[in-house]
Chain A
Amino acid sequence: MSSVLKIILQRLALGVLTLFIVSVVIFLAVNALPGDFAQSILGQGATPEAIAAIRKDLGLDQPLFTRYLTWLAGMLTGDLGVSFAQMNFQNSMGGGEMETVATQIAPRLYNTLWLAAVTAMIAVPVSIALGVLSALYRNSLFDRATNIFTLSSISSPEFFLAYILILFLAVLNPLLPSLSNIYDELSFAERFQRTLLPALTLTLVVTAHMMRMTRAAIINLLASPYIEMARLKGMSPIRVIVKHALPNALAPIINVIALNLAYLVTGVVVVEVVFVYPGIGQLFVDSVKIRDIPVVQACCLIFASAYVLLNLTADILSIISNPRLRHPK
């Protein structure tokens, strides 16, 4: 197992490097956008003096490099800083404690992870089961129907799927609420019920990818000699697939699942907007709009970490699932 440990450490080091590069790129990109926080927050009320005052308060008058280093120094000590919006408010109005970026993001991140978890709980078993079944009954009517359904749902824009689901499950048959505004006081059941529509929408979006990969990976193995052997022994087709093919097909499937889970954490802005779900995506978009760099940076780091960590997990799981990689010669 020491080799696995070594890989984990290596990958984590690379991950940190990735995060560093991401932070530089995002910082430069947000600064390259036209307009800055001062202009966007003042809007029509922007006078040159007011803009200069805000820029000075927030340190936006400093050179790019200095600003980045200040942010990085804070970041390395675990301080994500204070959002521009908060700082600007406090500077002009005075007042008590400042809410840091971390406390601002935490509840939103929690909501996003909750939505991702609910979606994964539905989507992963469904897509693997569908993948196995369509591999088993490949080229049958069932296989074709599954393929057409999942491919058309992945090809449709998310907001369209969302509105279709709202139409059928909220408007025509009022089973679920069309608003998913969740907050602390909700009981677990209410929270789950309100999350269901966005989760179903996301399920439709991610299922095709996982299901198709499962099907392809299994069908690919079905031509192998050992499957032939299993069949010749007289095993039932379902047993051949589940016991012999699936374990060997796990590595690619796990990778695809990891990719889709990362997508669920980072790419669900549209679904959040349609269902008014208070997740991190909405916060991220709001922050980009007003060029609130500390919040944008923090969100991007979270998104990048999600990809790095989930990919790492996927790689480790595929190593563990594959004896040849587990015991390299």
Chain B
Amino acid sequence: MIGISRRGMMKAGAAAGVLAATGMPASAMGKRGGTLRVGLNGANTSDTWDGRTHSDAFMINAAHGCVFDCLTEVAADGTLKGELAESWEATADAKTWTFNLRQGVTFHNGKAFGADDVIESLGMHTAEDSKSAAKPIVSAISEMKKITDHQIQFTLAAGNADFPFLLSDYHILMFPAGMIEEAIQKGIGTGLYSVVSFEPGVRFVGKRVEDHYKGDTAGFFDSVEFIAINDSSARMNALMTGQVDVVNRVDFKTEPLMRANPNVEIFEVTGNQHFTFPMLTGSAPFDDVNVRKALKFGINRQEMVDKILLGHGAVGNDHPIGPANQYYAADLPQIEYDLDKAKFYMKEAGLDSLNVELSASDAAFTGAVDAAQLYQASAKGAGINIDVVQEPADGYWSNVWLKKPWCACYWSGRATEDWMFSTAYEAGVPWNDTGWENARFQELLLTARAELDSAKRSEMYTEMQMLMSTEGGTIVPMYANYVDAHSTKLANSGTIGNTFQMDGSRLAERWWFA
């Protein structure tokens, strides 16, 4: 065997890919011109410009990536910068935040952008029966006060150091106050591209806004055309035949063919999306920490990355924080596949053999059933007999997840540690799919949330990841890469964002024709 870990290989590979994609190390500035044609999946006939409903690639790239802006933005290198907000500051308890808004910004219909737009746009998410995915973020604001037209003060119910980070979420788009309905219908935002034509589930065409506040530093295309291609072979074909310049979600099966095409480059990044096998720790046998530990050592994560993701991913370490998070603990000891240790913990639990059911369906993630079967085979040697129950894909999230004691699950990850932990691992939240009770973990979660000192937060989040990794109720076998492909006619700065596919969904803003 070669002395390089698979993980190291992946990182080196990704870096090489980036270098190859740009040709030369970072030529910093792009040049204007041309029409960017993008083939995207995740388009639906029920799509609209309403940010609250966005959940899939097409609309996220079109709205968040082209037509609308947020208050803050995660740059390609993972740092937070202002988008419609210029700067912000917090009181020491991280409870009161003052945001200074950018001056001289106008919406595509000519209306000037100001504090009222922010207040009304945020209010969209807290309406009584709003089903917005960003509702938890916005409802944490107890008061919004307009100080001047371009300054606004938020008071939070409890301190949250991540607040500016959370406002970069792709659901929280800024709409013009007083005409939100019209803006949703026509797509009126402050983004780099204004809507020329939009057919839900079929196509979006945008035109570069002249005199945009981002000036010459972003938005290099004269126009963009997004084509909905949900079928993956058709999408790959479109790129190979030059009908589009870039596609998302490369089909791993045709990836070697694409690599062989000299006009096509693949770009991939490891972000936060991860697959999990959550156990309800309230029910036997998963209430025994030794059983959980035995299961953690009984899974061959590398094999899953190789066979389920065909190498397009990285092994997970049983906590939900990914490489795209600020405080990702990269140095945490990796749980290896070790049957002796698994047997040891089985003995600790007083068991010779263990029979457990693992419910899986491809609704959880593509290849979930296969992954469960690999798990079955790898754990067998430790006396753990996993019975893989194949569940129907329809109604999987309603009938299996959170209901069956052990199942397969998928998380796209969250931009901040606190958001991820408080979505699925805070005691009592509805999506807590393990019910794992650990007093220290819960305490750290609350302390870290209100802590503004970055070094201290890093320490706390590392400890939380450690706790989850060693004792937690979920198995995280792998992170799945975002794998996209582009024509060699396109160029970029050399740094590709990993918060979402397609360069953090901002490809139309950051790339250009070489």
Interface residues of A (CB under 8 A from B): 33-36, 39-40, 42-47, 50-51, 53, 83, 85-86, 89, 91-96, 104, 163, 166, 170-171, 174, 177-179, 181, 183, 185, 273-276, 278, 283, 286
Contact = CB atoms under 8 A, between A and B. Distances in A.
Interface stretch (B15-23, B43-51, B286-294): B43-51
Contacts of A286: 44-45, 201
B46 A83 contact: yes
Contacts of A273: 230-231, 234
30 contacts: A35-B395, A39-B394, A39-B397, A44-B401, A44-B409, A44-B410, A47-B430, A51-B398, A53-B129, A83-B46, A85-B46, A89-B48, A89-B50, A92-B129, A92-B131, A93-B124, A95-B185, A104-B45, A174-B242, A177-B241, A177-B243, A178-B243, A179-B227, A183-B197, A183-B202, A185-B197, A273-B231, A276-B228, A276-B229, A276-B238
A179 B243 contact: yes
A86 B44 CA distance: 12
A40 B394 contact: yes
Given A39-B394, A39-B397, A47-B430, A86 B129 contact: no
B217 interface: no
Given A42-B397, A179-B238, A96 B185 contact: yes
Contact of B231 (A104, A170, A274): A274
B122 to A, nearest CB: 15
A109 B500 CA distance: 35
B394 A95 contact: no
A191 B243 CA distance: 15
Please provide the 4 A-B residue pairs with the shortest distance between their CB atoms, ordered closest to farther: A35-B394, A85-B46, A35-B395, A34-B394
B392 interface: yes
Nearest to A53: B129
Interface in B221-239: 227-231, 233-234, 237-238
Contacts of A166: 237, 241
A170 B233 CA distance: 14
Contacts of A39: 394-395, 397-398
Contacts of B39: 179
Given A44-B397, A170-B241, A181 B201 contact: no
B269 interface: no
A60 to B, nearest CB: 13
Interface residues of B, number: 47
Contacts of A104: 45
Interface in B398-420: 398, 401, 409-410
Of A45, A181, A274, most buried by chain B (CB within 10 Å of CB) is A181
B240 interface: yes
Of B127, B185, B234, most buried by chain A (CB within 10 Å of CB) is B234
B89 interface: no
Of A33, A83, A178, most buried by chain B (CB within 10 Å of CB) is A178
B45 A181 contact: no
Contacts of B241: 166, 170-171, 174, 177-179
Contacts of B201: 278, 286
A8 B329 CA distance: 76
B430 to A, nearest CB: 5
A273 B199 CA distance: 17
A33 B203 contact: no
B422 to A, nearest CB: 15
B366 interface: no
A85 B53 CA distance: 11
B181 A95 contact: yes
A91 B131 CA distance: 10
B172 to A, nearest CB: 15
B229 A179 contact: yes
A57 B50 CA distance: 20
Interface string B179-207: 00110110000000000010101110000
B52 interface: yes
A16 to B, nearest CB: 29
A279 to B, nearest CB: 11
Contacts of A34: 392, 394-395
A43 B394 CA distance: 9
B109 interface: no
A50 B228 contact: no
Nearest to A93: B50
B377 interface: no
Nearest to A36: B395
B202 A278 contact: yes
A85 B430 contact: no
A38 to B, nearest CB: 8
Nearest to A111: B202
Given A95-B184, A274-B231, 4 more contacts: A35-B395, A93-B50, A93-B184, A178-B243
Contact of A35 (B46, B398, B401): B398
A96 B181 contact: yes
A270 B330 CA distance: 45
B133 interface: yes
B130 A93 contact: yes
Interface string B86-109: 000000000000000000000000
B131 A50 contact: yes
Contacts of A46: 397-398
A36 B202 CA distance: 25
B363 to A, nearest CB: 8
Contacts of A89: 46, 48, 50, 53
B298 to A, nearest CB: 26
A216 to B, nearest CB: 37
A40 B44 CA distance: 13
A280 B397 CA distance: 29
Contacts of B46: 83, 85-86, 89
Interface string B40-73: 0000111010101100000000000000000000
Of A44, A86, A181, most buried by chain B (CB within 10 Å of CB) is A44
A166 B241 CA distance: 9
A92 B130 contact: yes
Contacts of A93: 50, 52-53, 124, 130, 184
B293 to A, nearest CB: 27
A171 B234 contact: no
Of A36, A42, A83, A95, most buried by chain B (CB within 10 Å of CB) is A95
A185 B196 CA distance: 12
Contact of A179 (B131, B234, B395): B234
A65 B256 CA distance: 53
B262 to A, nearest CB: 14
Contacts of A40: 394-395
Nearest to A292: B46
A276 B184 CA distance: 26
A190 B201 CA distance: 21
A298 B199 CA distance: 21
